[in-house]
Each structure stands twice: as C-alpha cells, then as structure tokens.
A and B are shown apart, each in its own frame.
Chain A
Amino acid sequence: MDTRNLLVKSAIAALALATAVTSSYGQKQWNAPHIVTAYCSGCHGIDGNAQLPYIPKLAGLDATYTGKKLMAFTDPPSPPVDELYADAMKAIDGRKDKTNLTRNEQINMEGVAHAAKRELLQEALLWYARQTPVSARHSHGLAIQQGEKLFKVGVPAQKIVPCMTCHGPNAEGQREAPRLAAQNAEYIEMQLAKFRKGDRTHAPEMTMVTRDLDSDQAHAVALYLQSR
C-alpha cells in the first residue's frame, strides 16, 4: 500500500470516528415525527396505521394504554441477540426462559423498547394517540355480522359479556379498556388467544371473559372490529 492510500484511509477512518463520537455526545433536538421515523414507523407506519396484519395499529390509541404495553417489553432483560451464547449460559446456570411475549413481540418490540430511550418512546406514543385510525375494507359480510352481534350483545348462553360494555359502543375505548375500532384483525385474534391462555397477565378480566370464546367467534369479532 502506498503512502497516499494510507493517508486517505486514515483520514476517512478519523473522520468517521470523529463524527460518530461528536454526534453521539451532541445534544440533539428530537421531535415526534423524527422519533417515530427512527424507531417505529418501519412497522407501525408514520400515521400509526400498520399494514402488516399481525402488527397493531397505534393510531388513536390512548398513550396511557400503549405506555403500559411498552413497559411489558422492557420488563424482561435485554433480548439475547447472541442466542447461542445465551442458550449456553442458560444451560450452565439452569435459568428458565420465562416470557409472556409472543414470538413476534420478542423479535421486534423487546429490542426497540430497550434500544430507545423511554422519554423518546413516550413522545412517539403521544404522536400516535393524535393520529386518525383508518379502518380496513372488507369482504366478510356474514362473519362481520356475527362479530357485531358478539360485540354488542355477547353470548349469554356461554356467559360471554358484550365487548362494548368496557370498550365502548363504537369500540372507541374507555377508561382502562383500549380502542379496538379499525385494529388489524390478525393482531386482535392473536391477543385474544393470548388472553385465553392467560399469557397477557396485566388484564386478568380479559382472561375471564374470553375463557369460553371459541376461535370462530374470535375471528368474527376481530373482523368486525377491523371494519369499524
């Protein structure tokens, strides 16, 4: 390698390092769209209307509720990026992997919740709370009718109470119960399955009311909510 190449290389390396160090130390003004763009919008969209059906729409969701959900992702220790090493350590000290998170939450959310600062994520949640949810177009007329009935009347024979009792007549959410209108159907179904299994522990009342819900009913109510 000749001297000039060495000089150029060193200059680039020094520049990169200097930029990295100074920018990390510098005080940066983060605004909500910037935070959302950096951490959330890749999956949830800038306006909170996530396209992927298993990812929740955050548009219009109350920030207190989403904040609580986010806490659940930071509760477990930092995710094992180096899985093999983590597995080996687990085998050595006999620890058990105890998590209530779905695989998808472990893949995506656990990491982001740890990688980003809490106050930045709080800004992002407030941003999403201000966005307008967009309901999905649909072609499941019959299932949606069944879902609507379940949502509004429940199934007295199975002792399933109407969802609107807590979530509001238009599924807009009230008090502790989150907004469900326009939420992605696949996400709702996955959450209902989690409640039934008792894997979402912070809302024990949901485990009670979904205990006797079968998967067809869950599917119908999810499609109804997505269409609202």
Chain B
Amino acid sequence: MPNPFRSHGVRSKLSKLRHSTTVLLAVLNAFCISPRASALPSFARQTEQKCSACHVGGNWPQLTPWGRFFKLAGYTAGKSPFDAEGLNFVPVGILGQAGITWAAQPNDAQGNPVVTQNGTPEAYGFSAELGTKLTDWAGVFAEYGISNTFPGWKGASGPTDIRATHFCHPGNHELLLGLDTNNDPSLQDVWNTVPSWGYPFYSSPQAVGAPAGPMIASLAQQTGSIGLYGLFDREFYAEVSMYRVGNNFFRFMNGGTSFASATYLAGWNPYWRAFWTKDSGANVWMVGTFGMASDVYPNSASPSGPTDTFMDNGFDTQYQYLADTRKLTVRAAYIYERQSWDGSYPLGNVSVPKGNFKTLNTSASVAINDSWTFTGGYFLSNGSNDAALYGITDQNGNLLSQKPNTTGYKLEIDRTLTQNVIAIVQYAGFTKFNGLTSNVDGLGRKPSDNNTLWISIFFAF
C-alpha cells in the first residue's frame, strides 16, 4: 500500500479474501485509521507561528479555527518562500515516526502471528513534505514517504493537496472560492471528523484494524481529483470534487502506487461536502454532510466490464471549546454505504448482489497548556451478511459469522515534548470483532486478544 504506516488488518482473514481486490483493499484500509503525517513544519516557517496556532494544543492534526481558515484560504497566509531578497524560508520539512507495540495475544491458537513485531521497537517511516504558498492565491501541501513494510522499505506519495483561491465581496459579505486537486477523498476537508482526518489520527501499523471500511475511506493515494468549493461568510461551505483513478495525469501525486492491485475507480466519481459552522465566544460548532458515489472495477488488473457501485453518505459534527489554556474537541461521524456488487457478484467474489455498511466514529480530546492531550474514542461498524466477504468458520467448517460488525475503543495520552516532537501512548481495545464477541477467528480467539498498547514518538522539523 502506498500510504505509510498502514494498518494491516487480520492476516488469517486476509488470506481468505485475496480473490477480491476491492474487498482486500477495504480490509487493508480498515476505517482508514492509518496515520497520515500531517503537521507541516514549513507552514510554521511560512507564517512564523507555532504549531499550536493551527493545531489544537500543538497536537497534529486537530485544527483550530485559524488552522481551518489557513487551509481553506489556500495555505496563502505568511511569507513567500522566495522574493526579491532571496530565500525567506525553507518550504520543505521532514517527518518521522517510530514506536513499539504490545498485543494482548500476538499469536493465534495455532501459533501464527496476528501481530508481528510484538514488543519490538520499530521505525515506521520518514517523509519529506513540501508545504508552502506558491503565490498570494495558491498553495500546496504534499508529502512523499518512505515507509517500513516489515520487512523492507518502500517509497510512495503521501497526502497531496494543491489549491488556488479567490476572495470576492458581494455586498457586505465574503465569499471564498477555491479550486482544489488532491489524491484522497476528504483530504481537502478541514474538520477532524472526515475519513482522511478523523480520530485516531495515528495508530500502530502493527495493531489489528477493523475488518472492513467504507469505500470513501479506501482510496488514499489511488485517486486524483478536480474540485470547486465556496465558503460564504466563513459559515456555509459547499464543495463538489470529481475523482478518477490516480494513474496517467494524476500519477504525479500517486507515486509508488501499483494500480494493478489498487482500488481502481471507473470514470469520474463525485464527492460532495457541505457544512455550517458557527462561533459564539469560545464555542465553535459544525454540522455537515459529505459523501461519494464510486464505481469500482472488481479486478483492477483488468479494469473493464461491469463495476461495483458504492454510495457513501456521511453526516458529521464537531464541537470545540477553546479557552486559553484548556481546549475541548468532540467529534462524531456516521457513514452509511450502499453497495451494489454488479461487478463482483457475477464473478462470485461476494455472496449477495447488494449490501450495506455503516460506521460510527466518535471521540473527544482535551488539550491542556499545549503540552498534554487526552483522548478517548469509540468506534462501531455494522454491515449486511456476506459469507464470501466476512465469513468466519470454525475448525469443522461451520459458519460462525458472516458480518463485519466490529466495536472498539481507544484511549490515548499525547505529550507535546517540544512543538517538534510528540510522544503518544495509545491503548486500542475491541469488544466485538467480525460480528462475534467470542471465537472471532474460529480458533477460539477473543476480541480483546486483539487489544494493543502502543508507545510512539513522532517528530517534524
């Protein structure tokens, strides 16, 4: 996978699913919980502000109101990297992450590893970032990462977002118009509820992820888009972007992606976003909706013929209380996906022609004095029966479950050591896995056997 630090899902399950590229990717992209390196030190150099001006408590990637506006305005505030006097600041930076993971039960009942590298300190990857204003009306945010693939290292594009903006003033109002291109649906968004930027912001690449995720969260670094957005009086936002497979023209932001094994979109696929946000004193509310209609080839190695159709409808809300020293953020997002397996069903990759998948993701963080952040999160996913996709059998071949239903939680403490270095302690727990509360792999494994404790250090210079 091109995305660095990707979560691996359940290996025993993966082997069963290998016949369906789409589903394999959905599994690998589970919840899209893979961390995306996000804070860009070069933006701090550009604005000469500290990380905590744009990120709540200095803890990336949760944005402050100013951080959201900086992004929507096209990363244009602050100095130009070059002017008549020469170089003003270095528009590139380096990010890196390392850590150690302990699982409750790293091996299954037959001794096969579910969590590899258990208890082993590991470097997960490094990325170079380019983040800068290009002109007074355009800016870029791009990363290229080299990630540890256990074993081996692989270079690939990371999140990339390029935008141009224009302010108009109809009457006494302000309208910000923007043109955007990026390589991951919802990467362009400014709220920490959408798949690209939702909690958990970072997870151990070794930890077990949820066994399935919605399509909108499964397209990172496999797509390219053209989109248009408008922000009216800094309260109402609307956007439409069209996504297509990230090869050919969009290859420049999908380096390292193998499209023969990627999620291969057919044609142009619409993504939409609308939100309303309101400030009142220290309170900031947002309610919004987002979604995507995607046509995906069942076999990306030969992208032709009938496609699977996914209709993702998302609803999200975020509340922030921003006092000087203590800041609270509460987030919730719900995604309902309707699936039409018109491509995969005739091939026998799925066992029913139509299905659905739902996820709920809620979390709350308290940041204190730009040095500590405490976060708790609760996740739930539900889906329709599909024995080919989600079937779990016991050793006698009896079907135990054919649902992806998984419930879990995360507890996390982050310490911002200096604004360039964050230490993370995260506990990830499951109460239900693969639709089962016991014997989740047919070999007697409990959901809580997948629980992990993760200690990590993240730096950005």
Q: Mark B356-378, 1 if CB is under 8 A from A, else 0.
A: 00000000000001100000000
- How near does chain B come to A52, taking the closest CB pair, in angstroms? 6
- Which of B81, B251, B279 is A20 in contact with, Cβ under 8 Å? B81
* B370 / chain A contacts, CB cutoff of 8 Å: 103, 107
Q: Total A-B pairs in contact (CB under 8 Å)? A: 131
Does A8 count as interface, using CB distance less than 8 angstroms?
yes
- How near does chain A come to B190, taking the closest CB pair, in angstroms? 12
Q: Mark A83-119, 1 if CB is under 8 A from B, else 0.
A: 1110100000000000000011011101110111000
Q: Mark A112-153, 1 if CB is under 8 A from B, else 0.
A: 101110000000000000000000100000000000000000
Taking a contact as CB atoms under 8 Å apart, the answer to whether A24 and B82 are in contact is yes
Does A186 count as interface, using CB distance less than 8 angstroms?
yes
Q: How far is the CA of A114 from the CA of B167 in the complex (A)?
A: 24
Chain A interface bracket (under 10, 10 to 19, 20 to 34, 35 or more): 35 or more
Q: How far is the CA of A78 from the CA of B50 in the complex (A)?
A: 11
Taking a contact as CB atoms under 8 Å apart, the answer to whether A52 and B134 are in contact is no
* B73 / chain A contacts, CB cutoff of 8 Å: 37-38, 42
Does B171 count as interface, using CB distance less than 8 angstroms?
no
Does B352 count as interface, using CB distance less than 8 angstroms?
no
- How near does chain B come to A227, taking the closest CB pair, in angstroms? 13
- How near does chain A come to B108, taking the closest CB pair, in angstroms? 41
* B82 / chain A contacts, CB cutoff of 8 Å: 20-21, 24
* A5 / chain B contacts, CB cutoff of 8 Å: 248, 251-252
- Given A9-B252, A103-B370, check contact A20 B135 (CB 8 Å): yes
Chain A's closest residue to B280 (CB) is A51
Taking a contact as CB atoms under 8 Å apart, the answer to whether B66 and A115 are in contact is no
Q: How far is the CA of A116 from the CA of B136 in the complex (A)?
A: 13
Taking a contact as CB atoms under 8 Å apart, the answer to whether B77 and A42 are in contact is yes
Does A175 count as interface, using CB distance less than 8 angstroms?
no
Taking a contact as CB atoms under 8 Å apart, the answer to whether A19 and B252 are in contact is no
* A116 / chain B contacts, CB cutoff of 8 Å: 78
- How near does chain B come to A114, taking the closest CB pair, in angstroms? 5
- How near does chain B come to A159, taking the closest CB pair, in angstroms? 30
- How near does chain B come to A197, taking the closest CB pair, in angstroms? 16
- Given A20-B82, A46-B174, check contact A114 B252 (CB 8 Å): no
Chain B interface bracket (under 10, 10 to 19, 20 to 34, 35 or more): 35 or more
Docked complex: A62-96 residues within 8 A CB-CB of B: 78-79, 81-85, 87
Taking a contact as CB atoms under 8 Å apart, the answer to whether B50 and A104 are in contact is no
Q: Mark A22-45, 1 if CB is under 8 A from B, else 0.
A: 011100100001100111011100
* A24 / chain B contacts, CB cutoff of 8 Å: 80, 82-84, 135
Does A190 count as interface, using CB distance less than 8 angstroms?
yes
- Given A9-B252, A20-B134, check contact A112 B48 (CB 8 Å): yes
Taking a contact as CB atoms under 8 Å apart, the answer to whether A81 and B66 are in contact is no
- Which of B52, B84, B169 is A25 in contact with, Cβ under 8 Å? B84
Taking a contact as CB atoms under 8 Å apart, the answer to whether A53 and B420 are in contact is no
Does A16 count as interface, using CB distance less than 8 angstroms?
yes
19 inter-chain pairs at a CB distance below 8 angstroms, sorted by A residue, are: A8-B251, A9-B251, A20-B81, A25-B83, A34-B167, A39-B77, A42-B77, A43-B65, A51-B280, A54-B282, A54-B323, A82-B420, A83-B418, A83-B419, A103-B369, A107-B370, A111-B47, A115-B48, A116-B78
Known interface pairs A8-B249, A37-B73, A112-B47; 9 further A-B residue pairs with C-beta atoms within 8 A, sorted by A's residue number: A5-B251, A38-B76, A42-B66, A53-B282, A79-B49, A81-B48, A81-B49, A107-B370, A186-B282
Residues on B close to A: CB < 8 A? 41, 44-50, 52-53, 65-66, 69-70, 73, 76-84, 134-136, 138, 140, 167, 169, 174, 248-249, 251-252, 279-282, 322-324, 369-370, 418-421, 461
The 10 A-B residue pairs with the shortest CB-CB distance in the complex, in nearest-first order: A111-B49, A111-B48, A23-B135, A51-B279, A54-B324, A42-B66, A24-B80, A83-B418, A42-B69, A115-B48
